[in-house]
Amino acid sequence: MRYFVAVAEELHFGRAATRLHMSQPPLSRAIKQLEAEVGALLFARLPTGVTLTPVGEVLLGEARALLDHADRVRVRVSAAAGAATLTIGILGDGNDPGVARLAAAYRRSRPGIDIRVRDTDLTDPTCGLRAGLVDVALTRAPFDETALTVRALRTDPVGVVLRADDPLAHRDVLRLAELSDRRWFQFPQGTDPLWQSYWNGGMPRRGPVVRAVQECLQAVLWNGTIGLAPLTPLGHDLPAELTVVPLIDMPPSRVVAVWNEGDTNPLIRSFVEVATTAYQY
């Protein structure tokens, strides 16, 4: 059923196989076996992918309900064994409205789960996931995704944080080229290079080393340093002395849920499903 749902959601065997971390031939065989058991075709095969047949449409709703019920059974069994705990890593901006909606929705749908939160600084975009400190992380891409599974939740435009008295602070929009002569805040040596490059606008920069959002803001206040930030709540109110100006040539920042590849913990799957809905508002 999980194989069927993956193909039905991706509408492409190759993409579904990638999502399931398996090769395409066994996935195709499994779907053919399921069609034989059902006694009807579930997909219409096309050169560009597949589409659901009317029978497949009916089965998709039933399959999702079955899988959700199976996850709830596992959660209840784990809770009875005293093992229903999920540790979540949250990067930097824990006051994001999406986090608040997710917390409320997850409490309603999984009231018996003990949630532990690890708030992390900006030096590890995976929030301790690789070190085994958390089960799943709410963070921002890009970063090295090797051996990780990533689900996009939302995209946010990006702006540059400036002192309010900066000559550029009163502009409606800016371009990265207009900031080339400025000092940018940096992350410590050893920080994921994809992450560092993104927040430096794709160019090598010079500037003070920071680890946390507050350190970034203080670097701007005290030194006139600049840096990038998503155009969403930064986890606190900006001081009146600071402002954020949108950048029109900066790719948006992706909010993502990420977990270790191959981790079959049903609590993670249910958490990500709730998160996907919560971040759509």
Burial of 30 (0-12, 13-18, 19+ CB in 10 A): middle
pTM equals: 0.69
CATH number of this structure's domain 84-155+254-278, picked from the four choices 3.40.50.720, 3.40.1710.10, 3.40.190.10, 3.40.50.300: 3.40.190.10
120 in Cβ contact with 149 (< 8 Å):
no
- Could you report how far apart the first and last alpha carbons of the chain are, in Å? 29
pLDDT digits (tens, 9 = 90+) for 29-88: 999 999 999 999 999 998 878 999 999 999 998 998 888 787 667 666 665 665 578 999
> Which parts of the chain have pLDDT scores under 70?
21, 71-72, 74-83, 93-95, 233-237, 281
Question: Are both 84-155+254-278 and 158-250 of the same fold?
Answer: yes
Quick one: which of 280, 277, 275, 281 has its CA closest to 138? 275
Give the DSSP letter string of 96-136. -HHHHHHHHHHHHH-TT-EEEEEEE-TT-TTTTTTTTS-SE
Residue 275 corresponds to which tokens in the numbers above?
Answer: 């998160």
Map out the domains of the chain as residue ranges: 2-78, 84-155+254-278, 158-250
CATH topology of domain 2-78: Arc Repressor Mutant, subunit A (1.10.10)
163 in Cβ contact with 169 (< 8 Å):
yes
Give me the chain's average pLDDT, please.
87
**Alpha-carbon dihedral sign for residues 4, 5, 11, 14:** negative
Residue 112 corresponds to which tokens in the numbers above?
Answer: 């018996």
Burial of 101 (0-12, 13-18, 19+ CB in 10 A): middle
pLDDT of residue 111: 80
Q: Domain 158-250: what homologous superfamily? A: Periplasmic binding protein-like II (3.40.190.10)
